[in-house]
Amino acid sequence: MSRISEEDVRKVAGLARLDLPEDRIHTYAGQLERILDYVAQLEAIDTEGVPCTTRAVEVVNVSRDDRVEPAGEIREDLLDQAPQREGDFYRVPRILG
């Protein structure tokens, strides 16, 4: 006997506000049944001692220490690349009236 009836499919479709064609209800019931069979296979796997994870591949945040370093000559090199310079600043066109 199937765990998912056609009436179950209609009810879930109604709750999700899905308009399913009546001739496909039987197909969807079978597909949902196969999904539940797959979940049952996954439940049978022994996961004792396996740590919980949130991702398949662990993500590591690579960062450096936040420290102040003297700008030295690089500051002057960067300022010299500006189209217009005014002292220790870039000169840019006015955008506000």
Residue 57 included in any domain: no
Average per-residue pLDDT for the chain: 89
Residue 65 included in any domain: no
Cα 91 to Cα 79: distance, rounded to the nearest angstrom: 10
Written as six digits, the tokens of 64 are: 């450096």
Domain region containing 21: 6-43
Under 8 Å CB-to-CB from 71, ≥6 apart: which residues? none
Cα 18 to Cα 1: distance, rounded to the nearest angstrom: 26
Residue 78 included in any domain: no
Number of domains within the chain: 1
Residue 16 included in any domain: yes
Name the band, by pLDDT with cuts 50, 70 and 90, for residue 55.
confident
Q: What count of other Cβ atoms lies within 10 Å of the Cβ of residue 19? A: 6
Residue 22 included in any domain: yes
Residue 51 included in any domain: no
Name the band, by pLDDT with cuts 50, 70 and 90, for residue 52.
confident
Question: Once rounded to an integer, what is the mean pLDDT over residues 15-27?
Answer: 95
Does the pTM of the predicted model rise above 0.75?
no
Cα 94 to Cα 92: distance, rounded to the nearest angstrom: 6
Residue 33 included in any domain: yes
Task: Give whole-number Cα distances, 19 to 7, 29, 48, in Å.
Answer: 14, 15, 42
Residue 90 included in any domain: no
